[in-house]
Amino acid sequence: MNNLTINHCLSFSLNPETWAMLPSQQLATIISLDPTTIVPIPDMPAAVIGVFPWQGEVLWLVDLAYLLGFEPLLTPDYHQSKRNVLRVTNRGKTLGLLVHQVGQLIRCKAEQIQLSPTKIITSTPAQYIKGIVRNYEGESLLIVDIEAILENFE
């Protein structure tokens, strides 16, 4: 039997230039969010936007781009358009991650993963990144560590 592991991951962008992905088994739902439904919570870390109602539950919302060291996705004009939220789960914990754009499902082989992202991308906090994958066009995609993010926001 072949030891080669192939994971299915969802790609998404943090901004127009930076793409990332997460394992599809950690993705519960893709939500098109009306920003006017977000309730800000005072005295929270800067990346925590607030909470919003989702199918009978209150879901915490984190700006993933801002958490990873990029420009925040919500700007003063954010009320004008719907936003993409990835509802992620792991070990019974759930969180909404605000992203710039949702991409597509990608098949990723284990040997494609580079495990030392801090040597390549210094602006990204390494604790939330598992590695980097280069696609067939040579572009780099960050592999987001959902477990680390959920642990940080317990």
According to the model, what pLDDT value does residue 116 have?
56
Of 60-64, 74-78, 111-115, 123-127, where does the model show the most confidence? 60-64
According to the model, what pLDDT value does residue 135 have?
75
- Pick 6 or 99 by higher pLDDT: 99
Q: Report pLDDT digits (tens) over 62-96.
A: 999 999 989 998 876 555 678 899 999 988 899 99
Q: How far apart are CA 98 and CA 154, in angstroms?
A: 17
Residue 2 makes CB contacts below 8 A (sequence gap 6+) with none
* Sheet strands side by side (includes 93-99): 27-33, 83-90, 93-99, 57-63, 48-54
Whole-number CA gyration radius for the chain: 15
According to the model, what pLDDT value does residue 85 have?
97
What is the pLDDT averaged over residues 93-106?
94
Q: Which fold has domain 6-152?
A: OB fold (Dihydrolipoamide Acetyltransferase, E2P) (2.40.50)
Please answer whether residues 4 and 109 qualify as being in contact, where contact means their C-beta atoms are separated by less than 8 angstroms.
Answer: yes
Q: Report pLDDT digits (tens) over 7-63.
A: 889 999 999 999 999 989 999 999 999 888 999 999 998 899 999 999 999 999 999
According to the model, what pLDDT value does residue 2 have?
37
According to the model, what pLDDT value does residue 118 have?
52
